[in-house]
Amino acid sequence: MRTLQLTVVLTALALWTIGVAACGGSSGGDVAQQRVDTLGTIAFQETIGNDRSIWVMDGSGLNRRLVTAPGEDPCLTALGVRLAYRLGIDIYTIRSDGTDAFPVKTVPPLAAGVGYWAPAINAAGTEVAYVVKVVAPMTVPYIRLIDADGTNDRDLVQGDEPAFSADGQRLVFMQGGDICVINRDGTGFANLTGGAVGVGRRHPQFSPDGETIAYTSTVVHPWASEAIVLMEVATGVTRTLAFGSYPAFSADGEWIAFVRTGAIYRMRVDGTQLFMVSPGPGCSHPSWQ
Cβ-based neighbours of 68, under 8 Å, separated by 6 or more? 53, 54, 85, 94, 98, 101
Query: How many domains does the structure of the chain reveal?
Result: 1
Alpha helices in 23-146 (DSSP H): 26-37
Which residue range forms the structural domain that includes residue 204? 52-288
- CATH code of the domain covering residue 113: 2.120.10.30
Residue 38 lies in a domain: no
Residue-wise pLDDT tens for the chain (289 aa)? Answer: 434 343 333 333 333 333 323 333 333 333 333 334 458 999 999 999 999 999 999 999 999 999 999 999 999 999 899 999 999 999 999 999 999 999 999 998 867 789 999 999 999 999 999 999 987 666 789 999 999 999 999 999 999 999 999 999 999 999 988 999 999 999 999 999 987 666 789 999 999 999 999 999 987 555 558 999 999 999 999 999 999 999 999 999 999 999 999 999 999 999 999 999 999 889 999 999 9
pTM: 0.84
Question: Is residue 78 situated within a structural domain?
Answer: yes
181 in any annotated domain:
yes
Backbone angles phi, psi at 19, to 5 degrees: -65, -40
112 domain residue, yes or no: yes
